[in-house]
């Protein structure tokens, strides 16, 4: 990387935006995405729009059997129809699943009859404007971004043996230090952007913990962030940012590129527990004071196990402390 590229990347603006992707893609290994996924089963949460739609579309184009996990039946059906219209031979199955509901996740897995899952893409996400609690008593972003994906991964662990798990995080997490107690606080003022960023930070830490937990099953777990992409969620939740950035935002396909690459590329086979941006391993810590300590990591794991249940191996007990 040249000194000029290093300067641009440190600016964040010229790294996370469309120009950053265009610079970074020059270093991409040619043909990395020219992969046949025929005979492989892939699950994509939040597949009805934005990055999730692009991921489902990209996997379907490569011959995978794609299971689209969507909360909204109508939007899910429309997304499935759009992909099917583009790829007539696409193997698509729509599942109505609410990733913020533990009961919905358990119901889905109980009825999921596929014997093997090759790829699990945790993409479902939201940025609420006000505090909302789920039926399980969890703040909505904690449930959707953290506890739900943990439970889904745990319940599918046996079927995922030898497969890949990818968390779609967010560059917004760079501003936050993991604070489990703060995530559980359901009183006082509420900042949706801060809650979103905190749970996205937690996803990155959780991916590292799951990578260690699941290595005995030969399951790789990685996380990534897409930069600043033009998605319906960004337009809806961050209208001012959307207006200011305009055409500087990445396309959904550019934002989804690294997650798709992590799902299919041969060169990442066996790599696990890493955080990626534009097909490169990057540090999850850019700012002073944002690195969590080991106790906080243990608290995060204990929280997920307490709310969603533990794994079966002895390695699933990293701490005696409760959050």
The set of catalytic residues is 196
For residues 74 and 282, is the Cβ–Cβ distance under 8 A? no
221 - beta bridge partners? 165
φ, ψ of residue 23 in degrees (nearest 5): -70, -45
CA angle 228, 233, 239 (to 5 degrees): 75
**Residue 18: how many CB atoms within 10 A of its CB?**
20
CB-facing half-sphere around the CA of 44: CA atoms within 13 A: 30
- Find the Cα–Cα–Cα–Cα dihedral 305, 291, 262, 98, rounded to 10°: 40
CA distances 218 to 158, 205, 270, 281, Å, are 11, 19, 8, 20
For residues 323 and 299, is the Cβ–Cβ distance under 8 A? yes
For residues 30 and 18, is the Cβ–Cβ distance under 8 A? no
Instruction: Please give the Cα distance from 158 to 41 (Å, whole number).
Output: 14
Q: Residue 136 has which token pair? A: 């399980």
Q: Is the dihedral of CA 29, 33, 39, 42 positive or negative?
A: positive
Place of tokens 């790789």: 220
């Amino acid at each position: 990387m040249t000194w000029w590229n290093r300067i641009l990347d440190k600016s964040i603006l010229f790294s996370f935006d469309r120009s950053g992707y265009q610079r970074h893609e020059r270093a991409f290994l040619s043909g990395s995405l020219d992969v046949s996924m025929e005979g492989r089963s892939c699950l994509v949460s939040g597949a009805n729009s934005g990055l999730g739609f692009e991921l489902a579309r990209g996997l379907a184009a490569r011959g995978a059997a794609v299971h689209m996990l969507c909360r909204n039946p109508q939007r899910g059906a429309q997304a499935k129809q759009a992909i099917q219209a583009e790829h007539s031979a696409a193997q698509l199955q729509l599942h109505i699943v609410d990733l913020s509901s533990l009961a919905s996740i358990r119901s889905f897995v109980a009825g999921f009859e596929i014997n093997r899952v090759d790829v699990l893409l945790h993409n479902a996400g939201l940025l609420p404007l006000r505090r909302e609690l789920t039926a399980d008593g969890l703040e909505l972003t904690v449930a959707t971004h953290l506890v739900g994906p943990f439970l889904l991964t745990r319940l599918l662990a046996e079927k995922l043996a030898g497969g890949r798990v990818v968390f779609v995080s967010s560059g917004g997490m760079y501003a936050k230090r993991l604070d489990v107690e703060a995530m559980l606080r359901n009183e006082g003022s509420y900042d949706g952007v801060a809650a979103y960023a905190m749970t996205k930070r937690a996803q990155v830490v959780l991916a590292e913990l799951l990578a260690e937990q699941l290595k005995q099953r030969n399951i790789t777990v990685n996380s990534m962030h897409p930069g600043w992409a033009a998605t319906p969620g960004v337009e809806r939740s961050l209208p001012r940012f959307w207006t200011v950035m305009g055409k500087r935002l990445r396309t959904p396909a550019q934002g989804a590129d690294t997650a798709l690459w992590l799902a299919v590329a041969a060169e990442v086979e066996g790599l696990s527990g890493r955080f990626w941006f534009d097909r490169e391993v990057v540090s999850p810590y850019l700012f002073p004071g944002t690195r969590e300590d080991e106790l906080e990591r243990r608290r995060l794991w204990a929280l997920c196990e307490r709310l969603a249940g533990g794994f079966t191996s002895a390695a699933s007990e990293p701490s005696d402390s409760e959050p």
